[in-house]
Structure 1
Amino acid sequence: MNHDFNRISAVLVAMAVMVACNIYTFIPIYREIGASLSITQSEVVMAGTSFIFFYACGLLTFANAADHFGKKRILVWGMLASAFASGLVGLSTDFWSLFFTRGFQGLCLGSFAPVAFAYTYDLFSGKQRTLLLAFINTGFLFAGILGQLLSGGITQLSEWSRVFYFFAVVYAFLFVIGKHMLPLTNVQSVSPSYQLATIMKLLRRKELLYSYGIVFTLLASFIAYYDSLTRHLSGEEDLLFLTRSVGLIGAGLSLYTGRFMEVIGIYKTLFIGLALSIVSLVAALIYAIWHIPFIIISSILFVSAISLLIPTVITLIGNMSGKGRSQALSLYSFILLCGTSLAPLIVMNLSYVQSLYLLLGFCFFQSLMGGLLFRGRRKWEVGN
């Protein structure tokens, strides 16, 4: 493993963690933001949804722009734009300023994920590529817990706006580091019409539609799980902090997903992830209904399940999309975040138990899509 790989991996994983943290920063501080700006918590949720929607748009836009301007340029200048946008969020004074600045922040941060995946494919091959993709995915999952811990901790010590000033400084630092440490790659310009034609062709393929069905509910489930849990454990801050923190244990499982797929196969890995999801939600229901302290186990298992499922689905899509891999992964990122944008709006009107039943419904839907993929696996493989 050479020095360049270690250096580039460290920068990209740090970016991945800090970018993904902002998907989750609102979850623990809805109440504090609402009280500070004299708006309702539902309006804060809507502002958070604006971030997710524009983040999803950024994922699709910047992935295609990178083909014209170069992947390094999009990555590093995206960090600088994100620093500026994050500072603006902290200056919000009412609902509309929060809505638009949070959306602008999401758009800027959307410059990272699909560009980083494609950049990794350009720079490395074989085990180095697989390892770096695993590191980046682990960073995304780690951020799901870290983002909540950072925003909750900073807000307790100071005020909610300092959360976004903190991220503004971090993104500015990552801009400087990335500009000096990340290498340039060749620019292979692809016309927008060709990209659009490729996307339309991909959307007509059943196997990818089944995969995107799973994708649509994946991160949405993660957001819904911790959003509903945060409201359910309101006033029990120590238990909430512990439940979030232990979830970090499960995030490490994504590092071993590649090994699981090699040993037992990609479809068995997919179904193990789905089984873990269901077991974790049953444990959460036992806690909610009978107050048996299974919530810690539930948090670990749920994050473990997502840790297995995300890299597995990325690998499935990458394997099935052939020459359209770049556009297929851009669609993956866009659809993942479209589903995520709806999750807080749906669960904010549900009780904790109702949210868990909804999540179980998501799991059974994912299992159905996985079953359809498994049944047609020979045809998909032959077609590629």
Structure 2
Amino acid sequence: MSQALVQQEQANERAAFLKVVTILGLSSVLILSLMYITIPLVPIWADHYKVAQSVAVWTGSAFGFAYALGNIFWGTLSDRFQRIKILYTGLFLLTGATILVGLSPSIGALIALRGLQGLIAASFPAVAIAYVGDVLAPHYRALAISFISCGFLLAGILGQVYATALQASLGWRSAFWILAAVYFIIALFMMKLPKGAVQGTTKASLFQVYAQMLRLFSNGRLLIAWLAAVSILLSFVGMYSALSSFVTEQFHGDSSTLTWIRVAGIPSILLSIGAGSLIKRIGPKKVTVYSLLLAGIGLILEAFSGSLPMLVVASAVFVLGIASAVPGIIVMVGQLGSQARGSATAVYAFFVFVGASMGPILATQLIGYGAKTVFLVLGGIVFLAAVVISIAIRLERA
């Protein structure tokens, strides 16, 4: 192949990478914000609908559990149908569901519609990650996954800040209606992305695809990775769910203090993009283990923070660890899933978002013992996940 053709091919690969990462990275922030938008709105909804916060917290958990189940449905389906079509169709459906959430007349309707919203929103994460493997050159994939997973975690902070700002200025319903309009626009841009193709499964029936997914549970290393993945968003959502009480208890802070602590985590998430390069150098397993250990250290430091600056630093350490663990474990799961990459990533997403759903519930149950207890328990869970992955999973370098 001539030098000119090589350069043209490299230029085409780079252009595809930039286009895909821009649209999918932005989508990951916007869609995953729906998971975290609930955290600051729970007390608002409890007051608005005249219910206890223990009831209002199900607006988040209903979304999370439906999202977890939806990942299995959509992700496994993507091993049968063209992934880009699932991605933009899901966004069009999400536009309608998000409008309906903003119209909720009662807490029961809100919880039900949040469940529907979660089920539809699940058409994005696992499918997007598998889609990257279809359309990008191999040397761009880990970096693209780092950008997308960075968006997942940025959503955890920006979603909370966005909800707080919109609630204060235009009311909570407007937060959903604005997102609905943005989803529709992003879907139009997504239709212009490379089409890609599902390799090797286009002739398989849906029954065969789901049977293939079930067979993945016989892969012991993959099962361990899935179970360990529960700790990621369980600790992330659980920490932020308890943060408000901790700031109030320890430092008598207000909502503006919380906002600044949340925003302080953004640089950590952006730094986690470097995990893509680390994965190439030392492998996804080591990146995942070291990152989880760092996150656990951050949680322990948060529990014993004696000042606001120390709390900010500790939370930034925790967020950096969690944000760096995400691309590591995603790449690890993809390698272990081999040809059933879409299904393996879909089940991974199921376990991750089961953890996200359990986070606020666990925090609510433990908060009576103090926010410090929540941080210590979450730290123990994250350390356990790191140890299990280190001992129980052997992974060949890709």
Structures share fold, TM-score greater than 0.5: yes
Instruction: Select the residue among 45, 53, 59 that pairs with 1:33.
Output: 45
Kindly indicate whether residue 84 of structure 2 is the aligned counterpart of residue 72 of structure 1. Answer: yes
Cα distance change of structure 1 residues 7 and 321 upon mapping to structure 2, 3 Å threshold: closer
2:8 corresponds to which residue? none
Kindly indicate whether residue 172 of structure 2 is the aligned counterpart of residue 171 of structure 1. Answer: no
Give the distance between the partners of 1:67 and 1:43, measured in 2 at CA.
37
8 A Cα contact 1:39 1:94, kept in partner: no
SS in structure 2 of the partner of residue 350 of structure 1: helix
Gaps of 5+ in 1: none
Once the two structures are superposed, residues 98-145 of structure 1 have per-residue CA deviations (whole angstroms, 9 ceiling, x without a partner) of 111111111111111111112111111222222222211111111111
2:293 corresponds to which residue? 275
8 A Cα contact 1:278 1:363, kept in partner: yes
Runs of 4+ aligned residues of structure 1 deviating over 4 Å after TM superposition are none
Once the two structures are superposed, residues 21-56 of structure 1 have per-residue CA deviations (whole angstroms, 9 ceiling, x without a partner) of 111001012111111222221111112111011111
Segment drifting more, 236-245 vs 364-373: 364-373
2:64 corresponds to which residue? 52
1:144 corresponds to which residue? 156
Kindly indicate whether residue 194 of structure 2 is the aligned counterpart of residue 183 of structure 1. Answer: yes
Kindly indicate whether residue 263 of structure 2 is the aligned counterpart of residue 249 of structure 1. Answer: no
1:118 corresponds to which residue? 130
Amino acid at match of 1:272: Y
8 A Cα contact 1:318 1:325, kept in partner: yes
Shift of 1:237: 1.8
Give the distance between the partners of 1:189 and 1:13, measured in 2 at CA.
31
How many residue pairs match? The answer is 376
Shift of 1:292: 6.5
2:104 corresponds to which residue? 92
Amino acid at match of 1:324: A
8 A Cα contact 2:294 2:318, kept in partner: yes
Give the distance between the partners of 1:11 and 1:292, measured in 2 at CA.
36
Gaps of 5+ in 2: 1-10
Amino acid at match of 1:174: I
Give the distance between the partners of 2:213 and 2:48, measured in 1 at CA.
43
Kindly indicate whether residue 294 of structure 2 is the aligned counterpart of residue 294 of structure 1. Answer: no
Shift of 1:212: 1.4
1:344 corresponds to which residue? 360
Kindly indicate whether residue 15 of structure 2 is the aligned counterpart of residue 8 of structure 1. Answer: no
Shift of 1:68: 4.1
SS in structure 2 of the partner of residue 348 of structure 1: helix
Cα distance change of structure 1 residues 208 and 66 upon mapping to structure 2, 3 Å threshold: closer
Instruction: Select the residue among 224, 244, 252 that pairs with 2:238.
Output: 224
Cα distance change of structure 1 residues 128 and 260 upon mapping to structure 2, 3 Å threshold: closer
2:206 corresponds to which residue? 192
SS in structure 2 of the partner of residue 39 of structure 1: coil
Percent of aligned pairs sharing the same letter: 28
8 A Cα contact 1:320 1:381, kept in partner: no
Give the distance between the partners of 2:392 and 2:275, measured in 1 at CA.
19
Shift of 1:220: 0.9
Shift of 1:89: 0.8
Give the distance between the partners of 1:190 and 1:297, measured in 2 at CA.
51
Cα distance change of structure 1 residues 267 and 117 upon mapping to structure 2, 3 Å threshold: closer
8 A Cα contact 2:334 2:344, kept in partner: yes
Segment drifting more, 86-95 vs 219-228: 86-95
Shift of 1:274: 2.2
Cα distance change of structure 1 residues 6 and 280 upon mapping to structure 2, 3 Å threshold: same
Once the two structures are superposed, residues 77-105 of structure 1 have per-residue CA deviations (whole angstroms, 9 ceiling, x without a partner) of 11111111111111112121011111111
Once the two structures are superposed, residues 306-340 of structure 1 have per-residue CA deviations (whole angstroms, 9 ceiling, x without a partner) of 11111111121122222222211111011111121
Cα distance change of structure 1 residues 171 and 118 upon mapping to structure 2, 3 Å threshold: same
Once the two structures are superposed, residues 208-248 of structure 1 have per-residue CA deviations (whole angstroms, 9 ceiling, x without a partner) of 12211210111111000101102333552222111100101
8 A Cα contact 2:130 2:341, kept in partner: no
